[in-house]
Amino acid sequence: MKQEQFLNVLSAEEAERVFREAIRPRPLEAQTVPLAEALGRICAETVVSTIDVPFFDRSNLDGFAVRAEDTFGAEEQAPRLLRLNEEVLHTGVAPRQTVAAGTATAIATGGVMPRGADAVLMVEHTLPVEGGIHALHAVVPGEAVSFAGTDIGAGETVLHRRTLLTSRETGVLAAIGRATVDVVRRPRVAILSTGDEIIAPGAPMTLGRIYDSNATIIADAVRELGAEPVSLGIVPDDEALLEARLREALRCDVVLLSGGTSKGAGDLNYKVVRRLGGGGPESPGILVHGVALKPGKPLCLAKLHGRPVAILPGFPTSAVFTFHAFVAPVLRLMAGQPEAAAHTVEARLPLRVNSEKGRTEFLLVNLVESDHGYAAYPMGKGSGSVTAFSKADGFIAIGRNTELLEEGSRLPVTLIGAALAPADLVVIGSQCVGLEHLLSLMSEAGWRVKSIAVGSQGGLLAAKRGECDVAGMHLLDERTGEYNRPFLDETLELLPGYGRKQGLVFRRDDPRFSAAAGAGHAQALRAALAHPDCLMINRNRGSGTRVLIDKLLAGAKPPGYLVEAKSHNAVAAAVAQGRADWGVAISQVAQGLGLGFLPIVDESYDFALPRARAQRPAVRAFAELLRDARARAGLRALGMSLPETP
């Protein structure tokens, strides 16, 4: 009997190109699912928290809420007397009394911190006395307290589009109160086995028959890729029956047939697919029939009614090989799946780390690549953080007899998960909502992005050490009056960003500010400093905003000065919720929460690029994004100022 021959055997690269150009795979549309069903799915939205986590300033242990300064100098031989307030703050109890100077309030682990208190003195470090307690040890501001928003701040982006939702990410969603989430719809993959000789597992074996292992192998591989297999069973070598079953299969997103790809008399799959094609660009039929592979030469690739169709070779090894080489990448794209990660590393600490002697500590770190290997940046959010474990690449095990890890130490990092996927773009420096917008667009375009907020000065140092691709900064040179450029050395170049306003934020109904608002920020600041019970919220050391605040205060340290927020969003949230009365932040976050805003300075938020990294593909893409019309429109919508032409 005469057999047809393969008409045009293509190389693997050419076959893949032809197939991809015809089907143009992309992530499927979004669907909303309950949080309980989100595990393993791909996030289809950028998720922004609407609340602070924790939602309130929270005690981390049983003890007494105090003003830290009232305990300074306390020791067992020279205790400090604190009057005890009447209320006892159990969990879930809203405080009614303010902790005034020289007083303390009993509080349980998880209790809401009362106004005026900035630390918790553990009960073991006190002695009860008539009308109060003796403090036997001093505490520092923030000790044993998880401040509201220290983990997640209202308005903070917690997940980007195309993020794989593991238990870490679903924990983040639960922590911010999300009951549902938009995910990429799973591709439905029809799996059809063909041939008179094929029987289902469990059927009695007879001479000439073969158990259908391909269907099980391919179905499980489809599941591993985040897609949904739809088993259509086994079809004998009957053209009419095969055509009917194939038309049924085309209701799915992808169709996979096994066997019948060769040119023998009983090989019907390619004939039926060829007959159903010929309908223009949406249904051209067979695109590739024969690939220069061993195993896998009989592979047939097609497109019918807008659906990718692959006829995999019947031999299991060939079927699996060609599935992973040609079909799996398409399914990953359609499912929005990220690629698999890499494996373990040794890393250098870019800063000194203190540890408590007497117990093993697992320090969560972010890993960034430099010319000298990996650098491990500690997460620094504490054991109660949800986002720390979600965003960490791995951890460093610090021995129980170690109190200090020196800057520059090289240490083994145990990766979370089986391997490490290096980021395409690493951004270290100042936090900004405009930068978050740009990084969301980068992530949506398929780039792996990593952002570490350490402040403008920390970002500048990281850029000089070659530990990041981009450093966001807004540092004013007092001598020249110019932002950012004077701080660069010959190893860095400046990528101009955008303008934004920094100002004093306060509640509009606060009479201490409303009375002075018309006269500008200076008078409002004087009014705030004149009230000893007017609490500020500060920014973290190393940030450009902290430099601005210290310049404004000229050495003054008003109440709340020692409480540091990690972002503009956290400052605005603290003021809006009454945990503080004023702070300094950019205008966008103040407007978002309906706060009063008095401009202090128009500043330039720019990016420092290490020259050695400036030509990396992701860095060039980021630079292009600053000239992209959609990105610029988004920045303007956020209130950023941009020139008319980039």
Which domains, from first to last, does the chain contain? Answer: 12-27+186-335 (3.40.980.10), 35-53+151-183 (3.90.105.10), 58-146 (2.170.190.11), 345-415 (2.40.340.10), 500-604 (3.40.190.10)
> What digits encode the pLDDT tens for the residues 166-199?
999 999 999 999 999 999 999 999 999 888 888 8
Report how far residue 69's alpha carbon sits from residue 54's, in angstroms, rounded to the nearest whole number. Answer: 24
Number of Cβ within 10 Å of residue 9's Cβ equals: 16
Locate 12 and state its tokens.
Answer: 């693997």
pLDDT at 526: 86
Locate 392 and state its tokens.
Answer: 């960490």
- Kindly tell me the burial class for residue 264, based on how many C-beta atoms sit within 10 Å of its own C-beta (0-12, 13-18, 19 or more): exposed
Q: What is the mean pLDDT of each run of 10 residues along the chain (646 residues)?
A: 56 88 93 94 93 92 96 94 95 94 96 95 95 94 91 90 91 94 96 86 84 86 90 88 91 88 60 83 89 78 93 81 86 81 73 74 79 80 52 77 85 73 86 91 92 87 90 89 92 93 89 74 85 90 84 90 86 90 89 88 92 92 93 90 71
70 DSSP β-pair partners: none
pLDDT at 646: 47
DSSP summary character for residue 640: -
Q: Tell me if residue 19 falls in helix, strand or coil.
A: helix
Report how far residue 258's alpha carbon sits from residue 316's, in angstroms, rounded to the nearest whole number. Answer: 9
Residue among 347, 501, 468, 512 nearest 414 (CA) = 347
Number of Cβ within 10 Å of residue 250's Cβ equals: 17
pLDDT at 113: 95
pLDDT at 339: 63
- pTM tops 0.75: no
Report how far residue 112's alpha carbon sits from residue 88's, in angstroms, rounded to the nearest whole number. Answer: 11
Report how far residue 378's alpha carbon sits from residue 389's, in angstroms, rounded to the nearest whole number. Answer: 11
Q: Report strand pairing: 188-194 vs 254-258.
A: parallel
Asked whether the bond before 295 is cis by omega within 30 degrees of 0, the reply is yes
One-letter amino acid at 213 equals S
Q: Report strand pairing: 596-610 vs 471-473.
A: antiparallel
Locate 382 and state its tokens.
Answer: 């504490």
Report how far residue 273's alpha carbon sits from residue 260's, in angstroms, rounded to the nearest whole number. Answer: 11
One-letter amino acid at 204 equals P
Sole residue written with tokens 């980068």? 442
Torsion on CA atoms 124, 58, 585, 437, rounded to nearest 10: 130
